Structure 1
């Protein structure tokens, strides 16, 4: 079982990403996928049900809360991912993924200021964790500076716990269905991170061994189609602020959800996005 942690700022789409992974919507008329995802535990099955009953009906998931007493109040989602290849036997990857509240990431720049935050980070950097998926989503003025400081602090904590040399980091630009990002998904390191978050990219590349660092583009909602690259997402204001919801449920086809998890678990890159 490969333990993976998902971290990132508030609003980066972590919980919705995991819900889509658990549910795995298939676009009618699409070719058979080369992977199959199975929800293993009850929390993961409930998350898949939320994707079906909420997201497909034009709703949005509640953000992962920070009003928790211990880390055990945040569920661990367990998946079995079967990867099919042309010339080899199918590969099975078992993953246990914890979705950390966005505040853990956002406030890291200030240091470990409370026991719950320390508990989260200690678990995130434990020796049985294969890697972390870091989901970033903004590049407005000042964001790159903030991200770079948070990442610098996170790397310092990695070093303190002896994880610099053996913890993989998959850094993903989420919500890449946006028109200004979609063309850059094919080379995210150059066209997304170097272009929009240069300070953060520099910090990562200077401190993390290249074998342990990869950049990805992820879109949980995807676009409307190959010949219609408009985002299959609209934004609405709800009780929790601005939320993203599906534009057309029958065209829901996420982009590149599996590839970063596959690399974090195995150290090998998938040939095609999945």
Structure 2
């Protein structure tokens, strides 16, 4: 089983991404898929039960950072994923832990919170095969901010002797946005080189290319091949502004499986699932 950690700033879509992954079995009969996802433990089944509310209605997932006191308070989501390769099938299993965005944000100027440091220590233990790093902004100043955060994360990797054996899948999330959607097919060149060059340089200078890949994902997707408007709208809820599906019957997420497959197996998929 591949132990994966998901990190990224607040509002980068971590929880929604995992909810969409858990929700796949509920919608599998609607359309033939290149993959199947099966929940393997109670935490994941509970997430699947809440997934429709999160994706369609913009609900949130508890506990929040204020309720997390120890590592054990964070759920571990366990999946079996079957990938179709022509007439063949390949299975891999994942145990995924989602870290609060505050941990990522605080790294920019150095973590002083003992609990956050405990999370980082757990994230970088030897039994973790890879980290999915979700980034979502490219406005002025964001590249410098992300590069500072990732420099400190790499320092933590070095401290834990993980710079040579921890896979990093660095993802531009929410790529259904019009500015990003055309670049999803070659995200390293058309998204990271264009929008986050300093961030990319920090990563490529420190991490071997066998342990580093760049991806684009969209939990919500677009309305269709001939209608590339984001299948997402923003609504105000009790937790602030949330994203929800615009048309649930046209939901087609993009790229959810590909980075997880690589993090778990070290092999790249021939297409973006």
Question: What is the TM-score of this pair, normalised by structure 1?
Answer: 0.95
Q: What CA RMSD, in Å, does the superposition of the two structures yield over aligned residues? A: 1.5
Is contact 1:55-1:61 (8 Å) kept? no
Partner of 1:223: 222
Provide closer, same or farther for how the CA distance between residues 111 and 64 of structure 1 changes in structure 2, counting only shifts above 3 A.
Answer: farther
Structure 1 distance, partners of 2:101, 2:54, is: 21
Structure 2 distance, partners of 1:164, 1:23, is: 33
Partner of 2:155: 156
Structure 2 distance, partners of 1:106, 1:70, is: 19
Partner of 1:252: 251
Q: What are structure 1's unaligned runs of at least 5 residues?
A: none
Is contact 1:26-1:252 (8 Å) kept? no
Partner of 1:72: 72
Structure 2 distance, partners of 1:223, 1:28, is: 20
Partner of 1:42: 42
Shift of residue 28, structure 1, vs aligned partner: 7.8
3-state secondary structure, aligned to 2:81: strand
Partner of 2:21: 21
Shift of residue 260, structure 1, vs aligned partner: 0.1
Partner of 1:192: 191
Is contact 2:58-2:237 (8 Å) kept? no
Is contact 1:184-1:192 (8 Å) kept? yes
Q: What are structure 2's unaligned runs of at least 5 residues?
A: none
Structure 2 distance, partners of 1:104, 1:64, is: 15
Shift of residue 71, structure 1, vs aligned partner: 1.2
Is contact 1:64-1:99 (8 Å) kept? no
Structure 2 distance, partners of 1:137, 1:28, is: 31
Structure 1 distance, partners of 2:233, 2:272, is: 24
* Cα shift readout 1:125-149 (whole Å, capped 9, x = no counterpart): 0000000000000111111111000
Structure 1 distance, partners of 2:217, 2:62, is: 18
* Structure 2 residue 142 is the aligned partner of structure 1 residue 143: yes
Which region of structure 1 is more displaced relative to structure 2, 233-242 or 222-231?
233-242
Shift of residue 64, structure 1, vs aligned partner: 6.0
Partner of 2:262: 263
* Cα shift readout 1:214-252 (whole Å, capped 9, x = no counterpart): 000000000011111100001122232221111011111
